[in-house]
Amino acid sequence: MKKSRIIFMGTPEFSVPALHALAKEENFEIALVVTQPDRPKGRGKKLAPSPVKEAALELGLDVFQPEKLNTPEGVERLTRIRPDYYVVVAFGQILSQAVLDIPRVYPINIHASLLPRYRGAAPIQAAVMNMDKETGITTMVMARGMDTGDMLLKSATPIDPDETAQDLHDRLSEIGGRLIVETINRVNAGTLDPEPQDNSLATKVSMLKKADGLIDWTRSGKGVCAHINAMTPWPGAFTHLSGKRLKIFRAVPGERDAGSHRPGEIIRCDGKGIHVATGKGGITILELMGASGKRLAADAFLRGHAIDLPARFE
């Protein structure tokens, strides 16, 4: 049986389960793995390989790390392989039409939302922030627009209100690995045809910035908790108290009625946590980090950093 020749493109940890899933299939051949060049990392700023490069080398696969793939040299390298498919997962570079035209069957992207909802760079965080009941993975035929290509398969998963973006990221990456294998097998069997997206239902999400972590205390208690979960692990949810920055890692909806307290005002501190008023109701902060750089449970934080009331997060 002729194997499907695949060029895999990906960079972060999210891409690795899909690479592993494809490598296990006897009817697939991963002819090349394309990933971003090694980047400076850590305090020493030593060059470090991407998670995909590390996984590819462990699997004994050829690795290509172009600073820019859309060059005559890049196109020539990919064309020479004569791939049936690309599988692209969070690669980090936009592909030119000349690059997209190379695969014999399809260039396929694994996207972490139920398209056409949340096209763009931060679909996982958007789903958590907006308190969606579910999200999922979509495999699609790549086009020049941002996540506008025809859809192949979808797989949905519920979102728990307590889940962080990291929790959801890890689960979706595994779902993506399973779905891409099913997608290619069904395309090869002739039982799957691309379906155009309904552009009228499309929503877009931008790449996150550090400033997006700033907590808006005028949101509801549930909304503030969702924002904290969405910003975990990056860029991290933060606020300020007496001019000092505090990073909030975990909180739960608290007071149903914050009474006369203004949004951001600390109602009380006790063994359960730091109780804060919001635009509607309130939250209880369970874990946070101050200037020490240590992530602490609220009671441990308060033992070393007593908060004198009245006080209000800025």
Residue 1 scores a pLDDT above 90:
no
> Does a structural domain hold residue 110?
yes
Are residues 110 and 23 both part of a single domain?
A: yes
Confidence (pLDDT) at 267:
95
Reported as a single tens digit per residue, the pLDDT across 91-121 is 999 999 999 999 999 999 999 999 999 999 9
Question: Mean pLDDT, to the nearest integer, of 206-217?
Answer: 97
In the listed set 152, 171, 205, which residue is the last one of a domain according to the structure?
205
Residue that is last in its domain, among 173, 205, 237: 205
Residue type, position 186, single letter? R
In a domain, 32, yes or no: yes
- Tokens standing for residue 128: 């958590």
Domain-located, residue 149: yes
Q: Are 217 and 232 members of one domain? A: yes
pLDDT surpassing 80 at residue 256: no
The verdict on 74 and 173 lying in the same domain is yes
Q: How many domains does the chain have?
A: 2
Domain range spanning residue 246? 210-304
Same domain, 267 and 129: no
| Residue 75, token pair as written in the block | 């196109």
Q: Tell me: do 64 and 198 sit in the same domain.
A: yes
Q: Are 200 and 254 contained in the same domain?
A: no
Average pLDDT, the chain: 96
Whether 165 and 269 share a structural domain: no
Same domain, 148 and 291: no
Q: Does residue 311 belong to any structural domain of this protein? A: no
Domain final residue pick, 170, 205, 240: 205
Q: Is residue 314 part of a domain?
A: no
309 part of a folded domain:
no
pLDDT in tens, 5-30: 999 999 999 999 999 999 999 999 99
| Amino acid 45: pLDDT | 87
Give pLDDT tens digits for 133-184.
Answer: 999 999 999 998 899 999 999 999 999 999 999 999 999 999 999 999 999 9
Contact 107, 85 (CB under 8 A): yes
Q: Count the residues in the chain.
A: 314
Query: What tokens were used for 60?
Result: 């004994």
| Same structural domain, 134 and 269 | no
Same domain, 235 and 145: no
235 and 156 belong to one structural domain: no
| Residue 258 scores a pLDDT above 90 | no
Is 274 within the bounds of a domain? yes
Q: Is the pLDDT reported for residue 262 higher than 90?
A: yes
Neighbours of 308 (CB within 10 A): 8
Closest C-alpha to 279, from 225, 209, 205, 211: 225
pLDDT at 257 over 90: no
Residue 129 lies in a domain: yes
Which pLDDT score, from 0 to 100, does residue 43 have? 82
Domain with residue 254: its CATH number is: 3.10.25.10
Tokens of 71: 């060059």
Q: Which residue has the tokens 């992207």?
A: 109
Task: Give the CATH number, domain containing residue 15.
Answer: 3.40.50.170
Mean pLDDT of 58-66: 98
pLDDT at 255 over 90: no
Question: First vs last Cα of the chain: how many Å apart?
Answer: 65
Say whether both 183 and 225 belong to one domain. no
Burial (Cβ within 10 Å: 0-12, 13-18, ≥19) of residue 199: exposed
Q: What's the average model confidence in pLDDT over 278-282?
A: 95
